[in-house]
Structure 1
Amino acid sequence: MFQIILINFAISLLAFISLWAVSVKIRNASIVDIFWGPACALPALTTWLQMETHSLRATLLTGLVLLWGARLGLYLGIRNVGHGEDFRYVRMREKAGGDKPFVMHSLTHVFIMQCCISFFVSLPVQVGQFGTSPWLVFPDGALGFLAWLGVAIFVIGLMFEAVGDQQLRRFKADPTNKGKLMDRGLWAWTRHPNYFGDAAVWTGLTLIALESQWGVLTILSPLLMIHFLYNLSGKALLERSMSRRYPDYEDYKRRVSGFLPRPPAR
């Protein structure tokens, strides 16, 4: 198992360094965002390809995370391509002192860092493909209650991501909504249906992985994902920007849950 995981990391690192080289060429570090979903799914695929036999759990984990990664990568690609570098990376470029010093800074602080984070997050879909838990043994490799619960949570999370993104895309495409705050559909139940969806997806995948031999060792992976989504690069960063752009955002925060979905307050 450990040899396969080391090979997976080498492949991921090579992929991120190659992407970094492209970003330098086109002067756009934000292409790394498009690769986030596929990067989390890639180690599951390389694990599956290296194994001689495949359990139902291994194939399920690989299939689900490939579905999630492909959807997210395609959505971000359609949304971001042709719109220049994201403001976060523009600021990083300015703080680094311009294009030339930003080249090596982006390699270490953007691409290699995201490689390490995505690889750690993806541990459940790698480790979960090996063996059977000594505490949760099911006949003939069948899935147990934790796995089916994980599938259900995964589906809920994927639905929140996909539907929330589509609702936001349609809202922004309507010229009459220019300058308005999106507070409809799933966005009336949580201010961040896509971030909640991500958290649910990886919680579900980890529950499936817990039925594997070493799955219990991966429980920190979804917690790291949720920490980033809630406290660092996701919700916290976005809400500071939204508060500056929309005068009615404070009222929106009062009415709508910040993460876990619930009916909006009146």
Structure 2
Amino acid sequence: MALPTLYSLEECSDFSKTVEPFLPQLYELPAKLADVFARRQSLADLYVDTNPLISGFAISVFLGAVFLVAAEVNRNYSQVDRFWSLLPTFYIAHFDLWARFAGVPSQRIDAALLFSTIWSIRLTYNYWRKGGYEIGSEDYRWEIIRKQIPKIVFHVFNWTFISFIQSILLFMLAAPVYTILLSTQFEPNVTSADLTYVAMELGLILIEWFADQQQWNFHGAKKEYQTTAKVPRGFQQVDLDRGFNTSGLWAYSRHPNFAAEQTIWFLLYQWSCFASKTLYSWLAVGPMFLIMLFQGSTWLTELITSGKYPEYREYQRRVGMFVPTSTAPYKAPGPKIIRTSELAKKKQK
């Protein structure tokens, strides 16, 4: 039996009932895959007979090994980055496909797959236009980290966090759909709550789109200004000279796109809690780790940025990192007014 026998919605998020009984399947999976290669069992039968959470986790571990080898062979540590926008949707599609093969109602999983697919399309496009899929491209922060720590320490960092932990994290972001899948035993049809969650997810994706587009437009204008010495239409010289964007959504949050990204996956977790009528569950580990990851990576990004642009520290002081701290947009500090009395004092000195 690939799914647990449950008697209430609340049990759908119970780790001891929905995960622990299937852990032996994880240990047995290599031997069963060997049977598939030896043609003693069909891959389709193995897929359906294996709990979808277990098989999804196993795939994430396997991909972690692939990322590790690719990173060490190419000396390029953005292997996971290239798949970041694809894997959560891949895992949700895995839950959806398993439900269809097993004859489990999949309409509610379809709803989750809908928003996730749109999320993937938007983020993949944004990563592509920034050159993320170009041969040899790598996140500039990995190079900075490499210079700050011993070589062997960085390799251990790659063997653990960069390759494996990040790969598993991308699965854990999608794992709340497992609870939604289990809840279809009691509520098989799409509910009004499901549609509300999908609408909120799409709203957050729209915020990400606006934020990234505003950033793209600003840096495109800055590059044109630096090349031609002419201020592009719709921009002001003082803003381009500042070097970083403080307009649009960026006038209220230093990272509105990151704020929306974290909320998207925390909201999916909340959706699973609502589906199982619980306030919290073990599945919080995914979005919580993502939030901690964003805290660290954003701190490093801002450390680099504040070293490049003098005004950035003032921007940090007045604008929240993720959540707006004021309803008033950021305005650059104006030039200091020197009074006549101050000029007289300077002359006397």
TM-score, scaled relative to structure 2: 0.65
- Asked if residue 254 in structure 1 is aligned to residue 302 in structure 2, the reply is no
Change in CA separation of 1:74 and 1:107 when aligned onto 2, cut-off 3 Å: farther
2:263 counterpart of 1:200: yes
CA contact (8 A) 2:105 2:184 kept: no
Aligned length: 257
Q: Is the 8 A contact 2:251 2:330 kept in 1?
A: no
Separation of aligned partners in 1, 2:202 and 2:328: 20
Equivalent residue for 1:65? 116
Alignment match, 2:209 = 162
**1:221 equivalent in structure 2:** 286
Deviation at 1:118, TM superposition (A): 2.0
Deviations 1:24-50 (A, max 9, x none): 343311232221222222221111111
Q: Aligned letter for 2:305?
A: M
- The answer on whether the counterparts of 2:115 and 2:202 sit within 8 Å (CA) in structure 1 is no
**What residue number does 1:13 align with?**
61
**2:96 matched to which residue of 1?**
48
Contact 2:246 2:330 in 1 (8 A): no
Letter in 1 for 2:142: Y
The match for 2:163 is 111
**1:122, 1:265 → 2: CA distance?**
36
Aligned to 1:237: 300
Cα distance between partner residues in 2 of 1:18 and 1:178: 43
Q: Distance in 2 between matches of 1:233 and 1:221?
A: 16
1:192–1:17 distance in 2 versus 1, CA, 3 Å = same
1:178 deviates by: 6.7
Large movers: runs of 4+ above 6 Å: none
Mark the structure with the bigger radius of gyration: 2
RMSD of aligned Cα (Å): 2.8
2:242 touches 2:311 (CA, 8 Å); kept in 1? no
CA deviation string 1:213-234 (max 9, x = no partner) = 48752244333322322x2223
> Which one is further off, 192-201 or 80-89?
80-89
* Percent of aligned pairs with the same amino acid: 24
Q: TM-score w.r.t. structure 1 length? A: 0.82
Query: C-alpha distance in 1, partners of 2:123/2:319?
Result: 24
Of residues 79, 82, 87, the one that matches 1:31 is 79
Amino acid at match of 2:275: S
Q: What is the aligned partner in structure 2 of residue 22 from structure 1?
A: 70
- CA 1:204–1:152: 2 relative to 1, 3 Å: farther
CA contact (8 A) 2:111 2:195 kept: no
**Structure 1: 5+ residue stretches without partners:** none
Distance 1:152-1:96 versus aligned 2 partners, 3 A rule: same
Cα offset, 1:18, TM superposition: 2.3
